[in-house]
Amino acid sequence: ETVGSSMADAITIKLPLETITQQLVNDLDELCLKFKGQQKLRVQFIDRHHRQTLTLAAKARRVEVGNDFIQGLERIGITYKLN
């Protein structure tokens, strides 16, 4: 058990709309499949042009919020917040 997994109930990843590509979606999907766990996964879509956000919870996907998962997010350029 890692520090992140013991302290966090969920993780919210933040995705500005202009950064979403098929490659980013594929990389994120692979990362989530690799680190299945008990923490809830939330996705916050950010529309900077209209200054709006939309946060959705992934119903069928939970992740293990550990150092390797966090490093994977950072490697593909995704910002996050531990909840």
Residue 8 confidence (pLDDT): 83
pLDDT at position 1: 45
- Per-residue pLDDT at 6: 55
The pLDDT tens digits of the residues spanning 29-81 come to 999 999 999 999 999 999 999 999 999 999 989 999 999 999 999 999 999 99
Q: Identify which of 66, 68, 75, 76 has the alpha carbon closest to the alpha carbon of residue 8.
A: 66
User: Per-residue confidence at 25, pLDDT binned at 50, 70, 90?
Assistant: very high
The backbone region for 39, taken as left when phi is positive above 0, alpha when psi lies in -120 to 50, beta otherwise, is beta
